[in-house]
Amino acid sequence: MKILVAAFAIALAAPVAQAAEPAAVEVPYRLTDTKHVLVRVKLNGQGPFNFILDTGAPAVFIPKKIAKKIGLELDDKGWGHFDSFELEGGLKVLKASTRVADLFQLEGMNGMGLAGVELHGVIGYNMLARFRITYDFTQDKLGWVPLKFEPPAIQSVGKGGEGQGSLDMMGNIAKMLAGFMGIKPNFEIYSAGFLGVEFEEKKSGLFLAAVFKDSPADKAGFKVGDQLENFRNSSIDDMGDFRRAITKTRPGDEVKAVLRRGDETKTVSFTLGKGL
Amino acid sequence: MRYLLLALSFASLAPAQEPKKVPPLEEAKAIVVPFELLSSGHFVVKVKLNGEGPFRMVFDTGAPLTLIDTKTAKAAGLTKKGGGGNGGLLGMFTGGLNQVEVPKLQVGDALAEKTPAVVMDHPTVKAISDAYEEESGPINGIVGFPFFARFATTIDYQKKQMTFKPNGYKPGDYLQDMMNSMMRAEERNKPRIVSPGTVWGFTVEKESKDEATGIDVKQVFEDSPAAKAGLKLGDRILTIDGRWTDTLADTIIAVSRAKPGQTVPVTLKRDGKEVKIKITPQAGY
């Protein structure tokens, strides 16, 4: 009997542990200044829109203006059903549905630029429960494993119905701040100026490991093996020094660099390019 | 539209907030904690504060703070740090939130020491608590970011359980960070210049009227990492490491997340077909 039980246990355990499980989809995320986990989503092919992952919210919520923009209509129970809901990272959520409401908490945060980005919506229980999600802020992606599981339908609590538990907290803070600030939720992004070189960091300094043909650095006379001693009047000992100097530039800026080749040093002036 | 697309995280770009390097913690064991799913869609975990309890608290990934109601805080002997509370400017900004440091906060066997919490009788918590008090007992607060950020946290609604693996991440002090963030308000409205620290060897361009997904490659430098990977003039880049590249700003961000020598999958549209290549950017500019 004991043996039978043991055998049964093994037979049961082994296949369960090995059961073919869909691999986790890696979803890029950003942690906002307000410590919210933000993912980007394309709704009906439009966007991307910024959503907060919130287990304290009962459902997906989008504001009215976005519902209108993507042509979403509500059914008689007040739910909108997306034709497509795609998370950055390539995860397409089938049969995704949403509530439509202008959450004052998101408006509050947006009005003051508190999160550092414009927030468009919230992903709550009705979608989150369909995945096993791993949050690890030492990694730059979340893991989403689809579950074969239909989460039980929600019931609203109290008079308020769909209270936005955790976001309420932000609402309180946001209200205290109203009027203090006039911060835009978004700002423009530029890349620094482009040289077209690969660097090698050595004990004696920063050296050119590659110079791409026809790149701004090539045209200025940079050669593989040269040591970059000075850039924009900053002396350069390592990548960190160079990063600090280049981050102050934009494509099209005129710059001066000092190169050492053997016993000679050479000062060159050139225009930074646009490139990655 | 442009603004939407430029809604790129300040948080992820600020050098001070680059993901912190931590030693691998593979030996760290996963701690499994069951939870109770409420019909409201919230879920509740048992929490010990300073060894007192268990108390029942809502677990909430959208909560930047951990909240404890007044009665529970008193029962667990939690008092304001320093006695003075959040006075001065910080107090003014945060509406005098009563922040305490919890010496030991345990969710099941997952332990966070010296974690901040705000003592507050929050109306939403009370509403949920009132709704479920008869059925399963009162709810005493919310477990939020300052706790779960210290772990690789996995939530499984099907099994009604969470797993926690300590990951060495330091969540910092929310109120202080928020304060600093507001102090940078002026700086925030300026354009942000990103220098990735990796060189790929291509340029991209997108016309303002072009609203389709992806971005066009305008130049690929000979012998660069992009050229070696087979990127070609006229390719349309759809994603870099899973990140959408629908605008120049998006592309800059996606590129800036890679480290020198890291091999990154890139999805392209070439001659109407989707093509996947791998680029290994190098240290450079």
Mean pLDDT of chain B, nearest integer: 83
A255 has pLDDT over 90? yes
Angle, helices B123-136 vs A165-177, to 10°: value is: 160
H or E stretch covering A243: helix A239-246
Model confidence at B49, pLDDT cuts 50, 70, 90, reads very high
Full DSSP string of B189-223: TS-EEE--SEE--EEEE--TT--SSSEEEEEE-TT
CATH of the domain spanning A197-271: 2.30.42.10
| Strand pairing report for A60-62 and A97-100 | parallel
Q: How far apart are CA A273 and CA A271, in angstroms?
A: 6
Find, in chain B, the residue whose alpha carbon is nearest to that of A175.
B95
Query: Which pLDDT belongs to residue B187?
Result: 60
Tokens read off for A192: 């620094």
Task: Name every chain B residue with its beta carbon within 8 A of the beta carbon of A116.
Answer: 9-11, 181, 188
CATH of the domain spanning A22-148+160-177: 2.40.70.10
- A129-133, A151-155, B78-82: range with lowest mean pLDDT: B78-82
Model confidence at B3, pLDDT cuts 50, 70, 90, reads very low
B106-145 pLDDT, tens digit per residue, is 999 999 999 999 898 888 888 888 888 888 889 999 999 9
What ranges do the domains of chain A cover? 22-148+160-177, 197-271
Residue B196 to residues A27, A181, B250, B271, Cα–Cα distance (Å): 21, 31, 13, 30
- Looking at the DSSP bridge assignments, the partners of residue A60 are A98
Name the residue among A44, A46, A52 with its Cα closest to residue A128: A52
Nearest-CA distance from A183 to chain B in Å?
Answer: 6
- A5-9, A98-102, A153-157, A175-179: range with lowest mean pLDDT: A175-179
Q: How far apart are CA B234 and CA B243, in angstroms?
A: 20
Query: Which pLDDT belongs to residue A23?
Result: 85
Handedness of CA B266, B270, B275, B281 (dihedral sign): negative
Are B224 and B199 in contact, with CB atoms under 8 Å apart? yes
Query: Which pLDDT belongs to residue B39?
Result: 87
- Beta-carbon separation of A276 and B123 below 8 A: no
Query: Which pLDDT belongs to residue B190?
Result: 63
Angle, helices A104-112 vs A165-177, to 10°: value is: 40
Model confidence at B80, pLDDT cuts 50, 70, 90, reads low
Average pLDDT over residues A184-205: 84
- Beta-carbon separation of A33 and B197 below 8 A: no
Tokens read off for A4: 């039978």
Query: Which pLDDT belongs to residue B14?
Result: 35
Beta carbon pairs, A and B, within 8 Å: 329
Model confidence at A200, pLDDT cuts 50, 70, 90, reads very high
Task: Name every chain B residue with its beta carbon within 8 A of the beta carbon of A30.
Answer: 9, 11-12
Q: How far apart are CA A163 and CA A78, in angstroms?
A: 16
Nearest-5° Cα angle at A144, A138 to A147: 145
B184-219 pLDDT, tens digit per residue, is 665 655 667 777 789 999 999 999 899 899 999 999
- This model of the complex carries an ipTM of 0.81
Model confidence at A123, pLDDT cuts 50, 70, 90, reads very high
- Beta-carbon separation of A189 and B171 below 8 A: no
A165-193 pLDDT, tens digit per residue, is 444 444 444 433 433 333 444 557 788 99
Other CB atoms within 10 Å distance of the CB of residue A49 = 21
For chain B, the distance separating the N- and C-terminal CA atoms, rounded to the nearest angstrom, is: 30
Task: Name every chain B residue with its beta carbon within 8 A of the beta carbon of A156.
Answer: 40
Peptide bond into B54 cis (omega under 30): yes
Query: Mutate which of A98, A189, A238 to test chain B, going by most B C-beta atoms within 10 A?
Result: A189
Q: What percent of chain B has pLDDT over 70?
A: 79
Find, in chain A, the residue whose alpha carbon is nearest to that of B129.
A157
A3-29 pLDDT, tens digit per residue, is 444 444 444 444 444 456 778 999 999
- Beta-carbon separation of A165 and B142 below 8 A: yes
Average pLDDT over residues B5-18: 34
DSSP-based three-state secondary structure for B92: helix
Q: How far apart are CA A147 and CA B133, in angstroms?
A: 30
Average pLDDT over residues B153-182: 87
A233 has pLDDT over 90? yes
CB-neighbour burial class of residue B159 (10 A; exposed 0-12, middle 13-18, buried 19+): middle
- Beta-carbon separation of B152 and A52 below 8 A: no
Average pLDDT over residues A85-97: 96
Q: How far apart are CA A270 and CA B94, in angstroms?
A: 50
Domains plus CATH for chain B?
14-187 (2.40.70.10), 198-283 (2.30.42.10)
Query: Mutate which of B195, B264, B274 to test chain A, going by most A C-beta atoms within 10 A?
Result: B195
Please give the single-letter amino acid code of residue A147.
L
Are A33 and A39 in contact, with CB atoms under 8 Å apart? no
